[in-house]
């Protein structure tokens, strides 16, 4: 295979062809509707919104910044605008069981109307009922009943007195009630006088008193019965007066809601309760109706009415009076109470916490009922008990408001048990791919409840058509955010940077957040320069300043290399030593850093020791890459003899974890150099993984890795011999910085795209790698021959050592 030549400059950076654009600035372009590059996600959203079967809720997955929320919300609002506005929901008092408030469903906007009607009704009843009891006809009837009762009492007392007089006894009042006492000459005998009477006379008086006492008890019982009957007559009269005073008011209200049976049934109950508790309307109320502790604080509307009348209020849980179409709700803080609703409490005058149905508050499920609820999946999962509650509500098809204490049985006191609200909702969860696959794998209920997957792309093809869509997108964002418009050169530079963002010259980023930030910053620099449009130079300045703001750590690491603290050679040749390349990511900023990789070999049992793994600094992917090296050596060299070497590989001056297999080709080059005793050119750095057949495979972060080594070489002076070896399959990903491309064009820095280890060896050592001939032997002057000869010699030495000392094992 011929030795690869350095890639030409046009392969290092794929410029945007400005000739494809027919506009001068984005002001000439039409606004872009919808998303670009998300056809799959758009179709899934439309399907998920349209289907109305159980369990077809949506899970929207994709990386942050792809516009998931904005796109989904836009589609939801468009669809919701064409759908009917859902009903209002109100809680009202359950007069039979006050701890179980009832729910009323009303047409949109009618909940607040009913609330006002009930407030007005109560105010009118508080006026008309007391007035009715002040009328002369009521007083006359009540007086007549009182007089009849008094006459009955008086008659009974007279009969009792007459019976007592027949027995020379008088009826007297004592602190303990009525009693009998003997009289003589119309005077009540004192105790001393009574004791002086003859015994026979005393016994007769005692007997008469006992007989009269029995009659007294019967009389008292009769009077009590008459008193109860009197109270009932008064109560009946009061009920009739109350019904007369307020019945027509309630009847008028009932007539307005005759098409709503639940409301009319509620008004019937209100009427009966008003009549039954008419005294509440007659007595003088405390108009504040609030505990002293609350008087300094403005009271909620539901607490401004005096306590006896709050039970007639209407608690509008959900009010759609100002809405048109189905609701679209996004809950940014999905706690249990924010989603499911809550029951608030107030401090009573006795210092106790009390509550009633007017203190029931809605949650996002209530507000989105009949429409759509958008939640961040991760936020919902980290909140206690929220995920299980969401699943329970979806399965039950209704919303129950209960505290966590009630749910887990920790509250033993009587608590409100509001009637459940029927649920008709579609939930949209937003999350990333990892979270979706974890839920799908670990939660058996998840796939039944969230059947629609909306998968957002991270990138799209870089075609002429998509370039034009990108230009329209830039113009749309400029108009929306009142930015300066972008000329053709600026559009081209944004497109080129978009390809760099996804590390692929043939793709464009769909992460609109990063693009929008770049447009805003380019607009800032253009305005600073007093320009009327944004040019490519302004976009470049925005890119450069972004990198500068985040680049402190990169500069410090480069400084350590230049000062010799971190040892990196960029000239000469070294045996078993090579410059590997890695990428560090700090937040959203990534940069490349060269690392010295060294290898040593000696006689042993065929083991390649990964020092990083031995000290638990190497991750599993890095360890896998090192283990592949043993497979490559066994398959490529002396296949009929066991490997008899012991090799050590290490990242020098590495004090943190190492993972990934992108350095496995560099480690193999260092190992082969040590075996062949051939130096590797230190002017070159290497990246790429390798398989057991010696093929160099693609890796990530190729642009940052090249630029990291370039910065070291440039600081020391470019010699024209320096460069980087990358996998040939990574060539399409190159979108290098302008200074790197310029150096390559001037022949001062080279990028080699290699397909096999043999190609890399020839570039790194200057020697031919060598292929086996018809006798299955490598050419004598080739590097592979040197490696195989060294391995064969080790095998012979190991065999000799084994024959001398069999206890060494094989």
Q: Where are the domains of the chain?
A: 17-31+460-550, 38-85+327-456, 87-322, 556-803
CA distance 408 to 429: 27
Architecture per CATH, 38-85+327-456: 3-Layer(aba) Sandwich (3.40)
CA distance 716 to 709: 11
pTM, two decimal places: 0.79
Q: Are 356 and 311 in contact (CB under 8 A)?
A: yes
- Residue from 106, 100, 86, 85 nearest 316 by CA: 106
Class of domain 556-803: alpha beta
- Residue 30, pLDDT score: 92
Give the β-pairing of 421-422 and 684-686: unpaired
- Residue from 582, 599, 589 nearest 688 by CA: 582
- Residue 62, pLDDT score: 85
Q: Which 3 state secondary structure label does DSSP give 291?
A: coil
Ranges assigned E (strand) in 294-439: 315-318, 328-331, 342-343, 346-347, 353-354, 360-361, 372-376, 398-399, 421-422, 426-431
CA distance 141 to 237: 8
- Residue 521, pLDDT score: 96
Q: Which 3 state secondary structure label does DSSP give 590?
A: strand
| Cα dihedral across residues 718, 724, 728, 732: positive or negative | negative
Q: Which residues are catalytic?
A: 662, 705
CA distance 176 to 771: 129
CA distance 697 to 688: 6
End-to-end Cα spacing for the chain: 38
Q: Are 459 and 510 in contact (CB under 8 A)?
A: yes
Angle subtended at Cα 643 by Cα 642 and Cα 648, rounded to the nearest 5 degrees: 160
CATH number of 17-31+460-550: 1.10.8.60
DSSP state, residue 83: S
Mean pLDDT of successive 10-residue segments in the chain (810 residues)? Answer: 84 94 93 83 90 92 82 90 94 93 95 94 90 87 87 83 77 74 75 76 79 81 87 86 87 93 94 89 55 48 74 94 92 94 79 84 95 95 94 94 70 76 95 93 94 91 93 94 95 95 92 91 96 95 94 92 92 94 87 91 74 57 70 82 80 67 86 93 94 90 94 94 95 94 95 94 92 88 90 83 59
- Which residues, other chains included, contact 601 with Cβ-Cβ below 8 Å and sequence gap of 6+? 576, 645, 646, 647, 671, 674, 675, 790
Residues pairing with 177 in the sheet: 174
């Amino acid at each position: 295979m011929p030795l690869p030549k350095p890639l030409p400059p046009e392969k290092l950076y794929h410029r945007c062809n400005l000739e494809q654009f027919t506009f001068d600035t984005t002001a000439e372009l039409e606004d872009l509707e919808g998303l670009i590059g998300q056809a799959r996600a758009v179709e899934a959203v439309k399907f998920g919104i349209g289907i109305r079967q159980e369990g077809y809720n949506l899970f929207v997955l994709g990386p942050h910044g792809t516009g998931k929320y904005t796109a989904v919300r836009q589609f939801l609002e468009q669809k919701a605008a064409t759908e009917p506005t859902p009903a209002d929901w109100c809680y009202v008092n359950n007069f039979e069981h006050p701890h179980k408030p009832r729910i009323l469903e009303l047409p949109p906007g009618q909940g607040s109307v009913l609330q006002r009607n009930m407030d007005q009704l109560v105010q009118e009843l508080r006026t008309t009922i007391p007035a009715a009891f002040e009328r002369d006809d009521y007083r006359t009837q009540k007086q007549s009943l009182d007089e009849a009762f008094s006459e009955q009492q008086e008659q009974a007392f007279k009969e009792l007195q007459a019976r007592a007089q027949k027995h020379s006894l008088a009826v007297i009042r004592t602190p303990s009630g009525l009693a009998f006492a003997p009289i003589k000459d119309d005077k009540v005998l004192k105790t001393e006088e009574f004791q002086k009477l003859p015994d026979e006379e005393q016994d007769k008086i005692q007997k008469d008193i006992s007989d009269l006492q029995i009659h007294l008890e019967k009389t008292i019982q009769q009077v009590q019965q008459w008193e109860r009957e009197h109270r009932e007559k008064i109560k009946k009269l009061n009920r009739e007066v109350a019904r007369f005073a307020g019945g027509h008011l309630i009847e008028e209200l009932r007539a307005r809601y005759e098409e709503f049976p639940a409301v009319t049934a509620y008004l019937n109950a209100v009427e009966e309760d008003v009549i039954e508790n008419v005294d509440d309307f007659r007595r003088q109320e405390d108009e504040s109706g609030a505990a002293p502790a609350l008087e300094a604080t403005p009271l909620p509307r539901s607490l401004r009415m005096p306590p006896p009348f709050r039970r007639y209020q209407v608690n509008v849980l959900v009010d759609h009076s100002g809405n048109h179409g189905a609701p679209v709700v996004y809950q940014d803080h999905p706690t249990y109470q924010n989603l499911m609703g809550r029951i608030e409490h107030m401090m009573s005058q006795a210092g106790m916490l009390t509550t009633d149905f007017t203190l029931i508050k809605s949650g996002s499920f209530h507000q989105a009922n009949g429409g759509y609820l958008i939640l961040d999946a991760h936020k919902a999962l980290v909140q206690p008990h929220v995920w299980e509650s969401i699943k329970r509500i979806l399965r039950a098809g209704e919303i129950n408001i209960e505290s966590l204490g009630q749910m887990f049985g920790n509250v033993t006191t009587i608590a409100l048990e509001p009637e459940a609200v029927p649920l008709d909702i579609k939930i949209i969860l937003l999350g990333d791919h990892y979270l979706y696959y974890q839920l799908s794998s670990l939660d058996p209920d998840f796939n039944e409840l969230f059947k629609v997957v909306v998968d957002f792309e991270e990138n799209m093809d870089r075609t002429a058509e998509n370039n034009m869509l990108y230009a329209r997108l830039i113009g749309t964002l400029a108009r929306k955010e009142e930015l300066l418009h972008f000329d053709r050169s600026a559009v081209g530079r944004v497109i080129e940077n978009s390809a760099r963002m996804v590390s692929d010259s043939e793709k464009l980023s769909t992460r609109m957040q990063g693009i929008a930030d770049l447009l805003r910053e380019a607009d800032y620099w253009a305005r600073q320069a007093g320009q009327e449009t944004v040019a490519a130079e302004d976009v470049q300045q925005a890119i450069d300043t972004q990198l500068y703001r985040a680049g402190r750590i990169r500069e410090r690491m480069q400084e350590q290399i230049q000062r010799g603290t971190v040892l990196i050679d960029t000239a000469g040749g070294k045996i078993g030593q090579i410059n590997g390349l890695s990428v560090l990511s700090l937040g959203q900023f990534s940069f490349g850093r060269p690392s010295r990789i060294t290898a040593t070999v000696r006689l042993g049992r065929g083991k390649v020791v990964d020092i990083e793994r031995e000290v638990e600094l190497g991750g599993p992917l890095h360890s896998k890459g090192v283990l592949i090296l043993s497979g490559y050596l066994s398959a490529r060299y002396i296949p009929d003899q066991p490997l008899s070497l012991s090799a050590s590989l290490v990242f020098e001056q590495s004090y943190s974890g190492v993972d990934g297999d992108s350095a496995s080709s560099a480690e193999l080059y260092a190992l082969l150099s040590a075996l062949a005793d051939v130096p590797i050119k230190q002017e070159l750095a290497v990246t790429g993984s390798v398989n057991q057949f010696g093929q160099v495979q693609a890796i990530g972060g190729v642009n940052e890795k090249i630029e990291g080594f370039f910065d070291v070489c440039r600081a020391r002076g470019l010699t024209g011999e320096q460069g980087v070896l990358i996998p040939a399959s990574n060539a399409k990903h190159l979108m290098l910085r302008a200074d790197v491309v310029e150096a390559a064009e001037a022949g001062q820095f080279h990028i080699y795209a290699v397909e096999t280890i043999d190609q890399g060896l020839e570039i790194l050592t200057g020697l031919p790698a060598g292929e086996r001939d018809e006798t299955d032997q490598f050419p004598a002057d080739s590097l592979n021959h040197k490696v195989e000869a060294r391995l064969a010699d080790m095998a012979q030495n190991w065999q000799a050592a084994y024959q001398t000392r069999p206890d060494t094992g094989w």
